[in-house]
Structure 1
Amino acid sequence: MSRKKMALAALGTILALALGLVVWLLVAKDYAIAEEHVTIEGPRSELHAVLAKPVQDANPHGVVIFVQDRGPNDADTGTYRPIWDAYAKAGFAVLSWDKPGVDGAPGNWLNQTIHDRVSEVQSVISWAYKRPDLDTTRIGIWGEGQAGFVVPEVLAARSDIRFATLVGPSTNWIHDRLFAVRADLTARGDSATEVAVAVDRRDRFFTLLESGSNYQTYVRSGIDSPPMLAPAFAFAERNFRADAANAVARISTPLLLVLGGEDRAVDIAQTENLYRSKMRSDLLTVKTFADATHIITRNQIEYRDDFRVSARTLFAPTSVYAPGYLDTLRIFAKHAIA
């Protein structure tokens, strides 16, 4: 083959790949949702929220309330839209909001207790009842991680929630934090001795909190070097006793428990055991994605930080999740209100 023909063949291959990539990106971000930014009166201050509604189905829509994991998250967190789209395909709108202090929202999420977050969810549900485009006979809740302390409390207190989905939910604050330290350092390749020292340091931190010690005592203890900032210490001080067991036992709502076999934030064995032992078996569905992470991403995407992951998350976020996860959410929601 001549050099000219080889060059043309190579160019054709590049163009074909580029066209395929463009098509893939368009499909991967082709969401069937329309987003509306709304302000909701919260228990302490206004909540800045996004209402994402299906674009093809007629009103009114059922609605899924989103309850986020720990940290300073905005309404989307950069990865929620594929999940919103999955619910839209089942005929549901989604309500999600910025945490206090994030993206200009008033307040500070570090000042919150678990009870504060429960009150937020209650306020959002009350707001939904005022919207004629939302069908409040079809309310669901989706929660992730730390939402495991919040959602069971809401479910135990209400009778109007048709279904709930919890993804890698926390069950006991102290146990999960010790587990996370051990899992992260082990995955990083630290020695057993290094892992044991780090776990002991976290254990001593919680012992200090249990003794009622203040921030100055914590700083002088030398447990952490450098020490965490005072607002983070106060946040832990307010919430470290959180335990979901009692609330889980009072759930009378169909619940989908989604677990990732590679979860480094939550002890999924303990989580599954708690839900199976506390909930009625006819109300509980457990789905484990063996190779998925805490938020059910594939190929360790959640734990990687490189250009390919950033590009995939930005341009094709649907492909970030483990195969079958989004369909699982959609199917469970649809069957729950059938």
Structure 2
Amino acid sequence: MKRGRLVFWAGTAIALVLVLFILAFEGLEDFDFSEYRTRPLSFSFKDMSVAGTLHLPEADTSAVVLLVHGDGPADRYSGGGYMPMISALLDSGIAVYSWDKPGIGQSSGDWLSFSMTDRAELATAALDAVKAEPELSRSATGFIGLSQGGWVVPILAREPAQADFFVIIGGAVNWLRQGAYLTRRRLEREGASAKDIDAALQANTAGNKRLLSKGYSYQSYLSDTRSGTPMSEARFGFVLKNALADASQDLAQVTAPVLTLHGSHDLNVDPDYNSDRYRQILQHRNDANRSLVIADGTHALLRASLFNQQTEGDMPAWSKLAFAVLGRKAYAPGALDALCGWINDQASAGSRKSASADRSN
């Protein structure tokens, strides 16, 4: 009897190890682009050289998307965080181009010197470089703006649109409102009382008013900072350039197709408010427009049960390991299907329009 139980549990353990090994192997494949056509692609922007990588599907290309980074010193893969999404896009026949932010990786310059308009101009230069590639000259083109990229994409999408379709993931319409939401959620997770949270938000509002007042300098900011680690002078300049960012007016000029995606458990951006706001502005501007909130999704559309942190630095080691093991399965169910399916729908619609135009000519 004991021997039978021992054999049973040994067999179960071996089966579990095999399952985990298979899952790990499948997940790691999403970080390996060797089966795809991959090549470096650099371009010039003002006095900077910007380096990136173009990934092409193994078979036919239905469309090409350019990734517009969120905040922070991101390289072309955002430290590996983009890789499973890129793999899913490639498997759906969608080419992907992403670049190192200025001053990061192999790119020159300083990303902290950029306004959102500067970032849009940089993205337009990247699109010109992609369109110059012979096999992509007639492909449908689009931008995917992630987080802070959600203020860049509406600039690119307003008339005359710089591409055929646009996606915003985890975007916010208003910069200051998003900052207040992020602060509230951070303090809630730290266990702060409602009274302390309200006091902190009032202090933030007062600080923003000082920041945006005429003649407010970095030295003034340092004098006003009583606790915590102050921003660097470069970061202060970046925030000062962009603190009044609000995408409402740009979105109101958009007629191209737009998809917005939010995770229902987003700790950085209020998902319900911003999804509704995008929908209100865009709902009658194009029949293809969609604003979706993905159940159990985080700010980056990952599974909230495993990956719901406000920053990458908050991720424990086990969570990083889980991301590497799961690959694209780390995403909330339906997130990548919604993204890839909508992009291919726009590429197909564009192909039908082109064919109709060719016949009429």
Give the TM-score normalised by structure 1: 0.92
Hey, what does 1:313 align to over in structure 2? 323
Q: In the superposition, relative to structure 1, how do residues 160 and 153 fare at CA in structure 2: closer, same or farther (>3 Å)?
A: closer
Q: Are 1:119 and 2:116 matched, yes or no?
A: no
Q: 3-state DSSP class of the match of 2:164? A: strand
Q: Are 1:50 and 2:49 matched, yes or no?
A: no
Q: Are 1:292 and 2:288 matched, yes or no?
A: no
Q: What is the letter of the counterpart of residue 237 of structure 2?
A: A
- 1:175-207 CA deviation, whole Å, 9 max, x = no partner? 111111011211332111221222223212211
TM superposition shift of 1:68: 1.2
Question: What is the alpha-carbon distance in structure 2 between the residues aligned to residue 134 and residue 98 of structure 1?
Answer: 21
User: How many residue pairs are counted as aligned between the two chains?
Assistant: 335
CA contact (8 A) 1:61 1:133 kept: no
TM superposition shift of 1:39: 1.6
5+ long unaligned stretches in structure 1: none
Q: Are 1:64 and 2:65 matched, yes or no?
A: yes
CA contact (8 A) 1:49 1:97 kept: yes
Q: Are 1:325 and 2:335 matched, yes or no?
A: yes
Q: Are 1:302 and 2:305 matched, yes or no?
A: no
- 1:94-131 CA deviation, whole Å, 9 max, x = no partner? 01111122224212221211111001110011001210
Q: In the superposition, relative to structure 1, how do residues 278 and 106 fare at CA in structure 2: closer, same or farther (>3 Å)?
A: same
TM superposition shift of 1:61: 5.2
Hey, what does 2:359 align to over in structure 1? none
Hey, what does 1:271 align to over in structure 2? 274
Q: What is the letter of the counterpart of residue 262 of structure 1?
A: H
Hey, what does 1:98 align to over in structure 2? 100
Q: 3-state DSSP class of the match of 1:265? A: coil
5+ long unaligned stretches in structure 2: 349-361
Tell which deviates more after alignment, 302-311 or 66-75.
Answer: 302-311
Q: 3-state DSSP class of the match of 1:264? A: coil
CA contact (8 A) 2:278 2:291 kept: no
- 1:52-101 CA deviation, whole Å, 9 max, x = no partner? 1111x14x552101111111111112221221122223321101111122
Q: What is the letter of the counterpart of residue 179 of structure 2?
A: R
Tell which deviates more after alignment, 250-259 or 306-315.
Answer: 306-315
Q: Are 1:237 and 2:240 matched, yes or no?
A: yes
Hey, what does 2:146 align to over in structure 1? 144
Question: What is the alpha-carbon distance in structure 1 between the residues aligned to residue 36 and residue 187 of structure 2?
Answer: 39
Q: Are 1:255 and 2:255 matched, yes or no?
A: no
Q: Percent identity?
A: 26
Q: What is the letter of the counterpart of residue 18 of structure 2?
A: L
